[in-house]
Amino acid sequence: MPFRSRISGCVVAILACVLFSGEALAKCRMKGPDLSISGMTLLDSDSAIKLVGAGAKLAEGEEDLPHARFVSTNGAQELVLFAHYGAVDDEYAEVEVRVAGAEAIALKDLPVEVFKTGRGVELGMSVAQVQSLFGTCVKTRQKTGSELFIEYEIEAADRDPDLKTFGYPVYYAEYEFQRGKLARFRFGFAYP
């Protein structure tokens, strides 16, 4: 076989691999993204009022979006609801649940002992349990010492069959594990 033919064959094979892997990557997507926490649906003010009450005072700072913080009835878990700038009152687009610190004692407690998402995510789960719910199509996976961070992202969420009614371009979810157990998670629609 002439040298030129072998090069052409190699180029075609490389291009096929690149195209195939790109196609496989495009099909890789987080399974069934979470859209609720303890009965509250993202961007639904009625369900938010049922969970936390109306007119929650939002704290603002340079580090993050305006947010309201709450604690579980047993004081072990903290719920943070994030409102996007210009949002309707009592409409939250992002949610975070974390182990409560000592300062959480001053927060309003909710009649919920464990903050659990609509898909069943709660603090204390293992990496395998979270990945069994959402798959292994992660944006990033980073390990530092005894901590592991996993992030999912759905770009073009405004065209995604499960998310297009919300009208946001990006959906994300991040999970922080310490010593193999879920210690913090955050999900919702990224502020545009």
The end-to-end CA distance of the chain, in Å, is: 55
Distance CA 96, CA 42 (A): 12
Cβ contact 88:45 at 8 Å? yes
Q: Report whether pLDDT(22) > 50.
A: no
Q: Report whether pLDDT(9) > 50.
A: no
Backbone Cα Rg of the chain: 21
pTM of the model: 0.84
Residue 20: the pLDDT is 39
Q: Report whether pLDDT(73) > 80.
A: yes
Element (DSSP H or E) covering residue 185: strand 181-189
pLDDT > 70 in the chain, percent: 86
Distance CA 3, CA 152 (A): 45
Residue 151: the pLDDT is 96
Q: Report whether pLDDT(64) > 70.
A: yes
Cβ contact 168:93 at 8 Å? yes
Q: Report whether pLDDT(105) > 80.
A: yes
Distance CA 19, CA 79 (A): 43
Handedness of CA 72, 75, 78, 83 (dihedral sign): positive
Using 50, 70 and 90 to split pLDDT, how confident is the model at 192?
confident
Distance CA 99, CA 75 (A): 9
Selection from 60, 130, 61 nearest residue 97 by Cα: 130
Mean pLDDT over 59-66 rounds to: 90
Q: Report whether pLDDT(27) > 80.
A: no
Distance of CA 154 to the CA centre of its chain: 10
Length of the chain: 192
Mean pLDDT over 170-182 rounds to: 96
pLDDT tens readout for residues 109-164: 999 999 999 999 999 999 999 999 999 999 988 888 889 999 999 999 999 998 99
